[in-house]
A and B are shown apart, each in its own frame.
Chain A
Amino acid sequence: MLAYIARKILHLIPMLLVISFLIYLGIDLMPGDAVDFMISPDELATVSPQQLATMRANLGLDKPFMLRYLIWLESLVKGDFGYSIQSGVPVSELFEKTLPATLELSFAALLLSTVLGSILGVVSALRRGSITDNVLSVAGMLGIAIPQFLFGLICIIIFVFKLGWLPAGGRMTPGHEAFFQRLDHLILPACVLGLSMTAGVMRYARASMLDSMNRDFVKTARSKGLPEWRVNLLHGFRVACTPVAVLIGFRLPMLIGGAVVVEQIFQWPGIGVMFLSAVRTQNTPVVMMVGFFSVLLVLVASIIVDIVTAMLDPRVKLQ
C-alpha cells in the first residue's frame, strides 16, 4: 500500500511540471501584461515609457520567458507562491482569506449531494419501477437540465424576496461572525450547489445499486436467510458504493473550481470569485496558483479514489 502511494506520488511530479508550464505559457500568451492593468487609461498619458519599463523590470516582466518560469518554479519549491500583481498582497495570504470560504461552501455541498444522492439512488433502485422511482428520475433529469445559475436565481427569488427567510448573499453580517451566526448565509448557496450536484450522484447510485443487486453475492447473502435490510445495505450497497466513491473522488477538485458560478451569484468571497477577477486582470501569480492547486487536487483525488475503491470492494487489489 505504502509503496503504491509512493509510486503514484512520484508519477505526479512530471505531470505537475508539464501542467504548471502550460498554465504559465498560456497566461504569457494573453494580450497585454499586468502593467497594462495597473495604470488606468487616463493616467497613461502622464506615464513615460521609461517609467513603464522600470515597472516591468521591478516585476521581473522584462526577463525571457523560460527564465521567468524557472524563477517562479524555484520560489514555489521554497514555499513562496509569489505576490498578487494588482495589490502586492502575497498569494498565500489571498488563499488564506478565500480558501476557508470556498471549502466551507463546497464541503457542505459535497456532503449534502453525497448523502442525499446515495439515499435517493438506493431508494429508487430498491423500488424500481414504482412511482417514487419515476418521480425521482424525472427530478434527476430536471436537475441536470436546469443551469446551476438559473436554479440559484429562482431560489433567491423564492427564499429571499418572496419568503424573506434568508439573506441574499455574502458570507456574514458584520458583527455576527461566529459559525452559527452566519449559518443562514451558508444555507442557500450550499443547497443550490449541493442539489445541482445531487442528480449525478443519484443516477450513479441507482445504476450501480441495480447492478450489484443482481450479483451472485447478493443472492448468496439472501439465501443465507439474512434480513432484507442487511442484504441490501451491507452486501449490495457496499459494492454499489464503489462507483459512487469514484464519482465523488472526481468531484473533489470541484471543491476549488466548481463553485465559481454559485460564488458569483451569492457574492460568496471565495476562490472562484478571486479566480474570475484574476483571469480578467491577468494577475498571473494568482491564476497560476489556483490552476496549479486545482490540478494538484485532481491528481491527489485520483489516488484517493484508487485507495478507497480497494477498501470498499474486496475484489480490487492495488498494484
Chain B
Amino acid sequence: MKKDKLGRKMDRLLERELAGELGHSNRNRALRKFGANKLAFAGGLVFAVILLLCIFAPLFTQFSSTNVDLRNRLSPPGSVHIMGTDQIGRDIWSRMLYGGRISILIGLGSALGATLIGVSLGTWAGYRGGFLDATIMKLSELLMSFPQIILVLILVSIAGQSLWNIIFIFVLTGWPSMYRMTRSQMLSIREEDFVQALRAFGVSDVLIAFKHILPNAIGPIFVNITLSTATFILQESALSFLGLGVPSNVSTWGNILSPAQNLTILRENWWIWLPVGLALSIFVLAINFIGDGLRDAADPSQMG
C-alpha cells in the first residue's frame, strides 16, 4: 500500500523510536525542531548578521552618523560614501548602522520590558486570582480598548519625544497582551495535579507560581517576545517617520526614512530611503521567521 507523507513520517519516527534514538527531553526536541526549520534558521542568520553589523558599527564604517558635511549633500552612492549621503551630507551607510542600534534597542528593550511586567503580573495574578487579578484585567482591558496608534500618540505628546520615553510608551502599551497570554496559560496549568501536590507539600505560592508553573509556559512567552520585537521596531519607524518618535537628530531607521515624505527626495534620491527601508523590512521579516519557527518548535501537538 502506498503511504502518504504523514504515514512515511510516522514510520521514520517509529524506526527511530525502536532504535532508541528518541526519548530526549521535550526541550531537546524543541531545539532540534527549531534547528531543522530552514526558514527559522535563515531568519536567525540574517538577524545575527544585521545585529553584529550594528553592534560593531565602527568597524564597518569610518564615518560618523551625525557629522554634517554640507559640501557633500545628496551625493549618490559612490566609492567614498558607499550608500551616498543625505540632504545635509551625513553618510547613509553609517547612519543605517548606528540607527540600527537604536531601532533594535527600542524593539528588543520594549519587548523585554513589556514581557517582564506582563509575565510577572500574569504569573502572580493568574495563579492567585481574586481581586488583584480582576483589577489588572480591567486595567489591561482599558489600555487595549484604545486604538494603538491613538494611545501612543497621546502618550508621546504627554511624555515628550525621547528615546527612553518611546520605550516607556511601548512597554506601557505592550504589557497587557503579555499579561493576558501568561494569565491564560497559568489558569490552565494551575489546575494540574503537580500543582495540587506542591500545595499539599506546603511549598510557598511564590515558588509554585514562578518556579514550577511559569517554566511550562515559557514557549509561548518566547514566541511573543520575538513577534512583539518586530511590532515595536515597525511602530518606532512609523512614529519617527511621522516626526513623532525619537528626536530627529538621533539616527534610527524611522528617522532616516522620514525625509522621503518630501516628494522630490522620494523621486530623485532613492538611496536615502530605499536601502534603509529594505534593511528594516528584511530585519523584521527575519524576526518573524524566528518567531514562527519558535512557535512550531514549542507546540507539542506538532511532531517532528
A contacts, CB < 8 Å to B: 15, 18-19, 22-23, 26-27, 29-31, 141-142, 144-150, 153, 156-157, 161, 168, 253-254, 256-258, 260-261, 264-265, 275-276, 279-280, 282, 287, 290-291, 294-295, 298-299
Q: Are A257 and B150 in contact (CB under 8 A)?
A: yes
Given contacts A150-B280, A279-B154, 11 further A-B contacts (CB under 8 A): A27-B154, A27-B158, A145-B285, A147-B257, A149-B241, A153-B277, A257-B148, A264-B242, A276-B153, A291-B154, A299-B145
Q: Report chain B residues within 8 Å CB of A299.
A: 145
Q: Which of B24-32, B111-119, B207-215, B230-238 contacts A (4 or more CB under 8 A)?
A: B230-238
Whole-angstrom distance from the CB of A9 to the nearest CB of chain B? 15
A-B contact count (CB 8 A): 110
- With contacts A141-B288, A260-B242 known, is A147 near B153, CB below 8 A? no
B contacts, CB < 8 Å to A: 142, 145-150, 153-158, 160, 230, 234, 237-238, 241-242, 244, 257, 260-261, 263, 266-267, 270, 273, 277, 280-282, 284-285, 288-289
Q: Main secondary structure on chain B at its contact with chain A?
A: helix
- With contacts A26-B158, A258-B147 known, is A148 near B238, CB below 8 A? yes
Q: Main secondary structure on chain A at its contact with chain B?
A: helix
Q: Report chain A residues within 8 Å CB of B146.
A: 19, 291, 294-295, 298
- With contacts A148-B238, A253-B147 known, is A153 near B273, CB below 8 A? yes
Residue of B with least CB distance to A148: B238
Q: Report chain A residues within 8 Å CB of B145.
A: 15, 19, 295, 298-299
Whole-angstrom distance from the CB of A189 to the nearest CB of chain B? 15
Whole-angstrom distance from the CB of B154 to the nearest CB of chain A? 6
- In order of increasing CB-CB distance, the 4 nearest A-B pairs are A257-B147, A145-B285, A145-B284, A150-B277
Please report the C-alpha to C-alpha distance between residue A18 and residue B143 in the assembled complex, in whole angstroms: 11
What are 11 sample pairs from A and B whose C-beta atoms fall under 8 A apart?
Answer: A142-B281, A145-B230, A145-B288, A146-B281, A147-B234, A147-B238, A254-B147, A265-B261, A275-B153, A279-B156, A279-B157
- With contacts A30-B158, A153-B260, A153-B273 known, is A144 near B288, CB below 8 A? yes
Please report the C-alpha to C-alpha distance between residue A18 and residue B138 in the assembled complex, in whole angstroms: 11
Q: Report chain A residues within 8 Å CB of B289.
A: 141
Q: Are A31 and B149 in contact (CB under 8 A)?
A: no
Whole-angstrom distance from the CB of B201 to the nearest CB of chain A? 39
Please report the C-alpha to C-alpha distance between residue A302 and residue B145 in the assembled complex, in whole angstroms: 10
B266 is contacted by which of A144, A157, A295 (Cβ under 8 Å)? A157
Please report the C-alpha to C-alpha distance between residue A294 and residue B288 in the assembled complex, in whole angstroms: 29
Q: Are A19 and B142 in contact (CB under 8 A)?
A: yes
Q: Are A147 and B147 in contact (CB under 8 A)?
A: no
Q: Report chain A residues within 8 Å CB of B257.
A: 147, 149-150
Q: Report chain B residues within 8 Å CB of A282.
A: 157
Residue of B with least CB distance to A162: B267
Q: Report chain B residues within 8 Å CB of A142.
A: 281, 285
Please report the C-alpha to C-alpha distance between residue A96 and residue B43 in the assembled complex, in whole angstroms: 47
Whole-angstrom distance from the CB of A203 to the nearest CB of chain B? 10
A147 is contacted by which of B156, B237, B270, B288 (Cβ under 8 Å)? B237
Q: Report chain B residues within 8 Å CB of A253.
A: 147
Q: Report chain B residues within 8 Å CB of A23.
A: 154
Q: Are B242 and A261 in contact (CB under 8 A)?
A: yes
Whole-angstrom distance from the CB of B295 to the nearest CB of chain A? 12
Q: Are B241 and A290 in contact (CB under 8 A)?
A: no
Q: Report chain A residues within 8 Å CB of B148.
A: 257
- With contacts A15-B142, A147-B237 known, is A279 near B153, CB below 8 A? yes
Q: Report chain B residues within 8 Å CB of A258.
A: 147, 149
Please report the C-alpha to C-alpha distance between residue A139 and residue B289 in the assembled complex, in whole angstroms: 13
Please report the C-alpha to C-alpha distance between residue A148 and residue B257 in the assembled complex, in whole angstroms: 12
Residue of B with least CB distance to A261: B238
Whole-angstrom distance from the CB of A174 to the nearest CB of chain B? 19
Please report the C-alpha to C-alpha distance between residue A287 and residue B257 in the assembled complex, in whole angstroms: 27
Whole-angstrom distance from the CB of B82 to the nearest CB of chain A? 21
Q: Report chain B residues within 8 Å CB of A261.
A: 149, 238, 241-242
Q: Report chain A residues within 8 Å CB of B277.
A: 147, 150, 153
Whole-angstrom distance from the CB of B301 to the nearest CB of chain A? 12
Residue of B142, B154, B155 with highest tally of chain A CB at under 10 A: B154
Please report the C-alpha to C-alpha distance between residue A27 and residue B266 in the assembled complex, in whole angstroms: 35
Q: Are A161 and B267 in contact (CB under 8 A)?
A: yes
Q: Are A31 and B160 in contact (CB under 8 A)?
A: yes
B157 is contacted by which of A149, A157, A280, A290 (Cβ under 8 Å)? A280
Q: Are A291 and B150 in contact (CB under 8 A)?
A: yes
